[in-house]
């Protein structure tokens, strides 16, 4: 049974963080990588993924730090 309408939802590219639709007819994008990053060599993409993960972690930490005031003592 085809459930394309519900299967197609916004994805976030693991390598560059771009939001993209998947699956899109005629698009090379995969579940985890957008059209652009699919063409990037795997080793390079791995590096991008590492950086992207790191940035996400730092953003989360920053949010936590911004949420709570610095302890007085």
The residues that touch Zn ion, with contacts defined as CB under 5 A, are 13, 15-16, 18, 34, 37
Within 8 A by CB and 6+ apart from 19, the residues are 10, 11, 12, 13
| 24/63 Cα distance (integer angstroms) | 33
Instruction: State the minimum distance, in angstroms, from the CB of residue 27 to Zn ion.
Output: 12
HSE-up of 10 (CA within 13 Å, CB side)? Answer: 4
Shorter beta-carbon distance to Zn ion: residue 19 or 68: 19
Shorter beta-carbon distance to Zn ion: residue 13 or 22: 13
Instruction: State the minimum distance, in angstroms, from the CB of residue 17 to Zn ion.
Output: 7
């Amino acid at each position: 049974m085809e459930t394309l309408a519900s299967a197609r939802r916004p994805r976030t590219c693991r390598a560059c963080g771009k939001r993209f639709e998947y699956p899109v007819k005629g698009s090379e994008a995969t579940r985890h990588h957008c059209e652009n990053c699919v063409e990037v060599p795997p080793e390079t993409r791995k590096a991008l993924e590492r950086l992207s993960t790191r940035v996400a972690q730092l953003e989360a930490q920053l949010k936590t730090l911004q949420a709570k005031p610095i302890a007085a003592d």
